[in-house]
Every structure is written in structure tokens, then in C-alpha cells.
Chain A
Amino acid sequence: MIKIMGAALIIAASTWMGIEASRHFSERPKQLRLLKSALQSLEAEIMYGHTPLHEASRRLSAQLPKPLSVLFADFSARLTNSETTVSAAWRESLEEVWKETALRQGEFEIMKQFGETLGRHDKMSQQKQIQLAISHLQREEGDAFEKQTKYEKMVKSLGFLSGLLLIILLM
């Protein structure tokens, strides 16, 4: 009886691990898409609304869902409350929030480089920088989507099967 219960626990744990790992793969393209649309609305705020940066990012944080909204909320709070430069505040809030997201090192570099240019130029070159960051993110999104279709199912069934194998070996 105890043996069966242990076996069920092992299966449940390993399947859960597999599902958790596959969720990581499916979250990444979703969050990249959100990040892209966030940059697009930032562009709109800057180009057509002439909104100041902290105000614009506060509005963005209200629009976006959870992990990305924290990034913009944190950024806006840093800009209003402390005496830092825009790029330093952007980098700090990126590092703060990055562990919460499913995003990878490549996107982190893109966003960091984007932050270096933020608030440095006039409107037109700012728009160009945003477009550049968006097109980089587009590339990463294609890569993420490819990885998702390739690995998502594999990780799920790998978790379940390795649990099964463990049970048979321990039986």
C-alpha cells in the first residue's frame, strides 16, 4: 500500500516538473509578444502623446499583465523617486524583474541596449531606436516560437516517462 502511494507521489512530482519546465517554453513567446506591444505603445506615447517617460511607463504598467507591468512600474517609480539617469534606472529595474519572467539572456541584452538609448535623442531617433529594439525582439520571438514547438511536448513527456522509469527501477 505504502509502495503504491510512494509510486503515485513520484509520478505526480516528475509530471509536475515536466509541466513546469514546458510552461517555461510556452511563456517565453507570449511574454516576448507582450514586450513588443509594450514598446509599440511606448513609441505611440512618445511620438503622439508627448508624454514624459515616467508618466508613459506608469501608463504602460497599468495596461500590461503581471510580469511585465512590474518592470514598467518599477522603472517609473525609480525615475520619480530617485536621482538616477534613465539608463541606470532602466537597467536596475530590468535586473530586478528579469528573474520573474521566462525570458532569456538575448532579450535581456536587447532591452539593456535599448535602455542605453532611452531619453538621449530627439523624437525621431528615439522612434528609430524603438523600431530597432522591436525588430530585434521579433527575431527572438521567432526563435522562441521554434523552440516552443520543438521542446514543449518533449519536456512534458520526458518528465512523466522519467518518473515511470524511476518507479520501475525502485520497485
Chain B
Amino acid sequence: MGMDVDIIFKIAGVGIVVAFLHTILDQVGKKEYAQWVTLFGFIYILFMVASIIDDLFEKIKSVFLFQG
């Protein structure tokens, strides 16, 4: 369970920092960079979440389909 909490904190940290970066870049008028930064942050977190979901599906398969 400890690892799960760690990942949630990590996602929150990335979110906060990316939000700050977006605000600062937006303020000085570099809108396109701000959007890129947000997009890359989103993609990174998406990959992280995808790997966790993958773990979950594997576990479900091993429980219900008896294919060990």
C-alpha cells in the first residue's frame, strides 16, 4: 500500500509544478511553451497511470481466469 500512496504524491507533485510553470509562462506571453509543458506533463502522468492500470488488469486476470 505504501507504494500506491507514493505514486499519488508523485502525480500531485508533477501537477503542482506543471501548473506553476504554465502560469508563469502564460504571464510572460509564451503561451505555446506553456501548452507544450502542460501536454508533456499530462502525457508523463498518463503513462504512469497506464502502467498501474496494466498491473491491475494482470491481477484481475490472474484471479479470475486461472492462467498462472
Contacts and interface: CB of A to CB of B under 8 A. Distances in A.
B57 interface: no
A168 B10 contact: yes
Contacts of B28: 150-151, 154
Residue of B21, B27, B29 with most partner-chain A CB within 10 A: B21
Interface in A128-157: 150-151, 154, 157
A165 B25 contact: no
A154 B20 CA distance: 11
Contacts of B44: 169
Nearest to A151: B28
Contact of B10 (A150, A151, A171): A171
B24 A168 contact: no
B49 interface: no
Interface string B1-41: 00000000010011001101100110111000000000000
Contacts of A21: none
Interface of A: 150-151, 154, 157-158, 161-162, 164-165, 168-169, 171
